[in-house]
Amino acid sequence: MGKTKNGLERLMNSFKIYDEFDEKVYHDAHLLLNIYSDVLWGIKNSYTNIVCECKEIYGNSSVAVLDVMTEFGSDLKAKLLHEQLEDTEASKVIIDIINSALLRLKTYPKKGEAYHKILNATYFSDKKYEVQDLLDMLELSRSTYFRQRKKAISLFGVILWGYVLPEFISNMRLD
């Protein structure tokens, strides 16, 4: 009887470990999705500011002028703008990785398209909808929406950190 109890305890403990991992993936993915639109807005705004400053200072809106100016090392402002541009480009890579995970979610065989629609409408749309508007648009009941949204976020997190990001890192190492 002691062995059965230990076996059951081990089984329960393995589920607890899985649940903690699953909750962490969900939590991290949810946080990321919540800030996505703000980050995207920040990237667009930052890039626009860099282009405007290039136009104002150098009379050319092309950011390529920054490469020339920093190469010759003659202009501190060009170096600062170039660093800002590199930061913006790094943020854009992150956005591209997130978008890639969203597209891969759409192709997931079990409810992938439904999950994609939920996340797209909730987090990736230019317009921020109220919950009732989302329910009407997606034709879901409130409980179904929140249940499927949680599953969609968890699956998105697994795809992002388990597939897309490792592939990206692997490709970076090859280059």
Q: What predicted TM-score, i.e. pTM, was given to this entire model?
A: 0.70
Sequence ranges of the domains in the chain: 33-174
Q: What is the mean pLDDT of residues 49-72?
A: 64
Q: For residue 44, give Cα distances in angstroms to 29, 40, 66, 80, 88.
A: 22, 6, 18, 18, 9
Residue 171 has pLDDT above 60, yes or no: yes
Residue 3 has pLDDT above 50, yes or no: no
The percentage of residues in the chain with a pLDDT greater than 70, rounded to a whole number, is 73
Calculated CA dihedral for residues 56, 58, 60, 64, nearest 10 degrees: -120
- 21 C-beta neighbours (distance < 10 Å), count: 11
Return the top range by mean pLDDT from 60-74, 114-128, 160-174.
114-128
Q: What is the mean pLDDT of residues 11-25?
A: 59
